[in-house]
């Protein structure tokens, strides 16, 4: 075993979805990281091992798993085993993340860069770690624009599926007074809390571990709810999600493949939510809803 090298395998997902492939890889208890290629709208999952023997075993397991995952509609292409220096690996993934200007009021900037903001522009520094949410993906970007758009009119914010914490942190920087956020992944919550601390708003956001199936919000509900969750989960938990929205509040639904958006919109119409607008970016569609 070479202590200076990692042995890696790339898996490419043309759907552009982080999940369910990431959940399936977690179920196999593999070490991996995931990157979104905005230009090609694809996701690359890289599985790595500290030994060549371990990488070969991973490849055998993945070959068998890919055949099974096909039944779930997960289609991944797998490359050959390659090596990368550990010192390079620690930095290589950072090249995929660039500053993203959300509006005249907000700039998203990776913590390792120092691009200067415009005059009066808030800077949100982000270190995504293994969690998703840098402002580059269409769904996260749309949610950020909505948080910016409704700042001032809305005072309370819920970030459902917080990932890196980027939406909740943006809310704090833009002046929301009450902010709650949750994620089913404890690691994501830890990363979110670290990012909130990096932006000096850790004391203004309540992060917790939970999921859309059973999470309980504040009794007074929220002026703005951002649910950046996969379409089938939005449909499955629509009754819970709608219950978090205050009278006169706004619900932003994102993380939805274009082919699924009409189904999501119809499902929320059934529980009293009216679609106000929709926005499409490549294969993704997001929308704003309010109570009828």
Per-residue model confidence as pLDDT tens digits over 24-54 = 787 777 878 777 776 677 888 889 888 899 8
Note whether residue 182 is domain-resident.
Answer: yes
Note whether residue 153 is domain-resident.
Answer: yes
Determine how many CB atoms are found less than 10 A away from the CB of residue 109.
Answer: 21
By CB neighbour count within 10 A (0-12 exposed, 13-18 middle, 19+ buried), where does 80 fall? exposed
Note whether residue 109 is domain-resident.
Answer: no
Across the range 282-287, mean pLDDT stands at 85
Note whether residue 123 is domain-resident.
Answer: no
* pTM to 2 decimal places: 0.75
How many domains does one find in the chain? 2
Percent of the chain having pLDDT more than 90?
A: 48
Note whether residue 105 is domain-resident.
Answer: no
* 124, β-bridge pairs: 108
> Residues 241, 151: one domain?
yes
For residue 70, the number of C-alpha atoms closer than 13 Å in the C-beta half-sphere is 7
Query: Predicted confidence band at 14 (pLDDT cuts at 50, 70, 90)?
Result: confident
Give me 147's structure tokens: 């948080």
CATH code for the domain in which residue 28 is found: 3.30.70.100
> Residues 250, 141: one domain?
yes
pLDDT in tens, 72-116: 778 899 999 999 887 776 666 676 677 889 999 999 988 888 888
Query: Predicted confidence band at 1 (pLDDT cuts at 50, 70, 90)?
Result: low
Domain that holds residue 255: 133-291
Considering only residues 222 and 128, tell me which one the structure prediction assigns the higher pLDDT.
222
> Residues 239, 149: one domain?
yes
**DSSP secondary structure string, 20-63?**
THHHHHHHTT--EEEEEETTTTEEEEEEEESSHHHHHHHHHHHH
- Distance of alpha carbon 266 from the chain centroid: 24
198: left (phi over 0), alpha (psi -120 to 50) or beta: alpha
CATH code for the domain in which residue 254 is found: 3.40.50.150
> Residues 77, 155: one domain?
no
What is the DSSP code (8-state) at residue 112? T
């Amino acid at each position: 075993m070479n202590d200076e090298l990692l042995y890696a395998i790339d898996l490419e997902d043309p759907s552009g979805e982080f999940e369910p492939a990431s959940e399936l890889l977690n179920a196999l208890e593999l070490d991996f990281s995931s990157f979104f290629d905005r230009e090609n709208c694809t996701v690359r999952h890289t599985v790595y091992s500290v030994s060549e023997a371990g990488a070969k075993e991973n490849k055998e397991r993945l070959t068998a798993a890919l055949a099974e995952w096909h039944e779930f509609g997960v289609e991944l292409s797998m490359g050959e085993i390659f090596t990368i220096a550990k010192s390079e690996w620690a930095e290589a993934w950072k090249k995929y993340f660039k500053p993203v200007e959300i509006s005249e009021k907000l700039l998203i900037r990776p913590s390792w860069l120092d691009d200067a903001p415009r005059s009066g522009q808030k800077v949100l520094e982000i270190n995504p770690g293994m969690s998703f949410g840098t402002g580059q993906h269409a769904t996260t970007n749309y949610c950020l624009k909505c948080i910016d758009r409704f700042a001032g009119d809305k005072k309370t914010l819920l970030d459902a599926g917080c990932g890196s914490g980027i939406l909740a942190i943006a809310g704090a920087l833009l002046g929301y007074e009450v902010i709650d956020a949750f994620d089913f992944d404890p690691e994501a919550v830890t990363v979110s809390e670290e990012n909130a601390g990096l932006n000096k708003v850790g004391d203004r956001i309540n992060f917790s571990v939970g999921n859309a199936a059973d999470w309980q919000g504040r009794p007074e509900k929220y002026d703005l709810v951002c649910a950046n969750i996969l379409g089938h989960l939005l449909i499955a938990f629509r009754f819970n999600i709608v219950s978090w929205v205050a009278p006169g509040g706004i619900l932003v639904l994102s993380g939805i493949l274009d082919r699924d958006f009409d189904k999501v919109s119809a499902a929320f119409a059934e529980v009293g939510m009216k679609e106000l607008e929709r926005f499409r970016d490549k294969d993704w569609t997001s929308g704003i809803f309010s109570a009828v």
